[in-house]
């Protein structure tokens, strides 16, 4: 087996912050088990073949990529195919709802390896909630890696690998060789686009542990892979994504000003990223392949929206965008927990509580129509556990309102679909996204 660089969580994460490396990793992830050749990587990134060889050699040395056979030749030398090693790193995604918690462990490909669900009282106080979250993450990790995982202030770590794999999550029959030696910065071709012009280590190189993530490296700097790259936490807003500080979470004003990112990071000893549940879900959908501009509307214990504009999550100047549920649509309507009256959230939840799903869907459709008129989005996706109880009723009701709106305007109606995936899965992408070049994670 090739040498594994263990200078930081088993992989040289500083090197992975390179823009060009992120481009290559993203293409390797997208290629899946079939893999992709170095020549294809060069053609699709705009990098020179030499630069691609240097990057892939380093990724193989770090256990993040392996050779996956050869592709039939169309003349000349057969092309060696490379693929991502999903088990070379992991992230935890946590969805904190007002009364429940779901935590998932995902690999680099975004596949859920393990998950846990538990009851939670978001009003129990910060110490109790942080302790509960840390305990669920510990149990989740121990279920995969056994007693090798420990959680404590500044000590979040684990060692060893799963049965049948080496320390990088590579099975013996997959093989690994160091290939070309690591070189300097990748050279972009003169005709390459802007994405290829960034040099290795350039400003566009975000990675785990940068930006909003925090946490003490501690024993992670000396452990074997699979590395836990960090924890993404998604919960109802409003909140400050950049600083990881909560604001007045609707119904739980006592959380105002609480530094959840830092508190959980200190407890776990790994980087932590905090975002709204709707943003995390929208990010997960974009990573999974949803294109263009869309709104993810989440109706559960509350109502919010995650906005993706031209392929990127839109959080706004103060990371507060998407408070969709608190647009007023009835001036003399029922009071809302936010302090206003006639909010979409209050009207929807009241209709759900009395069993009138048709009315809840109609109100949701009216609010979705307002959003379409404002942002001219391509698609509306519905999610959340309330929608999941009767997806057809909500899809029909929202679509009927949007169809009527489009008919009056002489336009094609914006399609409405049920959103695949879960919030917790998207929360894990808050950690993994920068590794693959997503600046909106």
Distance, in Å, from the CA atom of 303 to the CA atom of 278, rounded to the nearest integer, reads 9
Element of type H or E holding 19: helix 19-31
User: What would the two tokens of residue 170 be?
Assistant: 């590579």
pLDDT of residue 251: 83
Q: Look at the pTM and tell me if it is higher than 0.85.
A: no
Question: Residue 149: pLDDT band by 50, 70, 90 thresholds?
Answer: low
CB 380 within 8 A of CB 365: no
- pLDDT score, position 425: 97
Question: Beta-carbon neighbour count of residue 441 at 10 Å?
Answer: 28
Identify the band that residue 222 occupies on the pLDDT scale cut at 50, 70 and 90: very low
Q: How confident is the model at residue 209 (pLDDT cuts 50, 70, 90)?
A: very low
CA distance 166 to 168: 5
Task: Name the least confident of 32-36, 130-134, 227-231, 430-434.
Answer: 227-231
The rounded distance, in Å, linking the Cα atoms of 54 and 183 is: 6
pLDDT at res. 315? 96
- Asked if residue 210 has pLDDT above 90, the reply is no
pLDDT score recorded for residue 145: 80
For 328, the token pair is 């007023």
- 193: pLDDT strictly greater than 80: no
Residue 169 has pLDDT above 90, yes or no: no
Residue 142 confidence (pLDDT): 84
- Nearby residues of 48 by Cβ (< 8 Å), 6 or more positions away: 42, 186, 187, 188, 189
Which tokens belong to 80?
Answer: 């060696």
State residue 225's pLDDT score.
36
pLDDT at residue 375 in the model: 95
pLDDT tens digits, 243-292: 999 998 888 989 999 999 999 999 999 999 999 999 999 999 999 999 99
Kindly tell me if the per-residue pLDDT of 439 is higher than 50: yes
Give the mean pLDDT of 301-329.
Answer: 94
The pLDDT confidence band at residue 76, using thresholds 50, 70 and 90, is: low
- Asked if pLDDT for residue 121 goes beyond 50, the answer is yes
Q: Tell me, what's the pLDDT at 188?
A: 37
Cα separation, 140 vs 156, in Å, equals 13
Higher pLDDT, 148 or 302: 302
Contacts of 289 (CB under 8 A, 6+ apart): none
When the pLDDT of each residue in the chain is averaged and rounded to a whole number, the result is 82
**What stretches of 183-259 show up as alpha helix (H) in DSSP?**
194-197
pLDDT at 303 over 50: yes
Specify the pLDDT at position 250. 80
Closest CA relative to residue 364, chosen from 335, 340, 337, 391: 391
Q: Which helix (H) or strand (E) holds 351?
A: helix 344-353
- In this structure, the strands spanning 272-276 and 227-235 are parallel
User: Residue 98 burial (CB < 10 Å; 0-12/13-18/19+)?
Assistant: middle
pLDDT band at residue 71, thresholds of 50, 70 and 90?
Answer: confident
Q: Is the pLDDT of residue 201 over 80?
A: no
Q: Once rounded to an integer, what is the mean pLDDT over residues 381-394?
A: 97
The answer to whether 228 and 158 have CB atoms below 8 angstroms apart is yes
Q: What is the pLDDT of residues 176-192, one digit of tens each?
A: 333 333 333 333 333 33
Instruction: Determine the average pLDDT of the residues in 54-68.
Output: 94
Flag whether pLDDT at 122 surpasses 80: yes
| Distance of alpha carbon 432 from alpha carbon 109, whole angstroms | 9
Q: What is the mean pLDDT of residues 141-166?
A: 53
Tokens of 386: 């309330």
Closest to 418 (Cα-Cα) out of 392, 440, 437, 400: 392
**pLDDT band at residue 326 using 50, 70 and 90 as cut-offs:** very high
Q: pLDDT higher for 2 or 150?
A: 150
- Are 239 and 316 in contact by the 8 Å Cβ rule? The answer is no
pLDDT at 79: 87
Strand 100-107, strand 112-119: pairing: antiparallel
Query: How many Cβ atoms sit within 10 Å of the Cβ of residue 201?
Result: 16
Residue 215 pLDDT more than 80? Answer: no
């Amino acid at each position: 087996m090739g040498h594994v660089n263990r200078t930081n969580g088993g992989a040289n994460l500083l090197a992975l912050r390179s823009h060009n490396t992120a481009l290559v990793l993203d293409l390797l992830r997208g290629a899946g088990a079939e893999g992709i050749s170095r020549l294809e990587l060069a053609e699709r990134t705009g990098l020179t073949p030499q630069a691609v060889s240097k990057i892939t050699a380093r990724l193989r040395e770090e256990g993040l990529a392996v050779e996956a056979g050869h592709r039939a030749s169309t003349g000349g030398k057969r092309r060696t195919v490379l693929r991502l090693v999903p088990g070379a790193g992991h992230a935890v995604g946590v969805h904190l709802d007002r009364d429940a918690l779901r935590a998932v462990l995902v690999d680099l490909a975004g596949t859920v390896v393990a998950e846990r669900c538990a009851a939670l009282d978001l009003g129990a106080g910060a110490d109790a909630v942080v302790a509960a979250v840390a305990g669920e993450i510990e149990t989740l990790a121990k279920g995969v890696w056994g007693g090798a995982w420990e959680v404590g202030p500044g000590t979040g770590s684990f060692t060893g690998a799963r049965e049948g794999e080496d320390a990088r999550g590579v099975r013996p029959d997959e093989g690994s060789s160091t290939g070309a030696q690591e070189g300097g910065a990748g050279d972009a071709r003169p005709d390459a686009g802007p994405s290829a012009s960034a040099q290795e280590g350039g400003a566009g190189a975000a990675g785990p542990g940068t930006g909003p993530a925090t946490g003490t490296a501690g024993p992670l700097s000396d452990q074997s892979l699979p590395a836990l790259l960090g924890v993404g936490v998604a919960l109802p807003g409003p909140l400050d994504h950049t600083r990881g500080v909560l604001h007045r979470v609707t119904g739980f004003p006592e959380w105002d000003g609480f530094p959840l990112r830092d508190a959980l990071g200190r407890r776990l000893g790994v980087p932590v990223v905090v975002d709204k549940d709707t943003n995390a879900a929208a990010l997960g959908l974009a990573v999974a392949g949803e294109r263009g501009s869309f709104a993810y509307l989440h109706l559960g214990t509350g109502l919010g929206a995650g906005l993706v504009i031209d392929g990127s999550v839109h959080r706004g100047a103060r990371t507060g965008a998407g408070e969709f549920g608190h647009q007023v649509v009835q001036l003399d309507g029922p009071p809302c927990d936010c302090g206003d009256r006639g909010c979409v959230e209050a009207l929807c939840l009241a209709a759900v509580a009395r069993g009138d799903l048709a009315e809840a869907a109609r109100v949701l459709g009216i609010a979705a129509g307002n959003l379409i008129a404002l942002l001219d989005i391509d698609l509306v996706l519905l999610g959340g556990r309330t929608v999941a109880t009767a997806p057809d009723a909500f899809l029909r009701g929202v679509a009927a309102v949007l169809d009527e709106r489009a008919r009056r305007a002489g336009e094609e109606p914006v399609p409405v679909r049920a959103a695949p995936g879960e919030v917790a899965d998207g929360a894990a992408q808050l950690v993994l996204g920068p590794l693959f070049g997503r600046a909106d994670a």
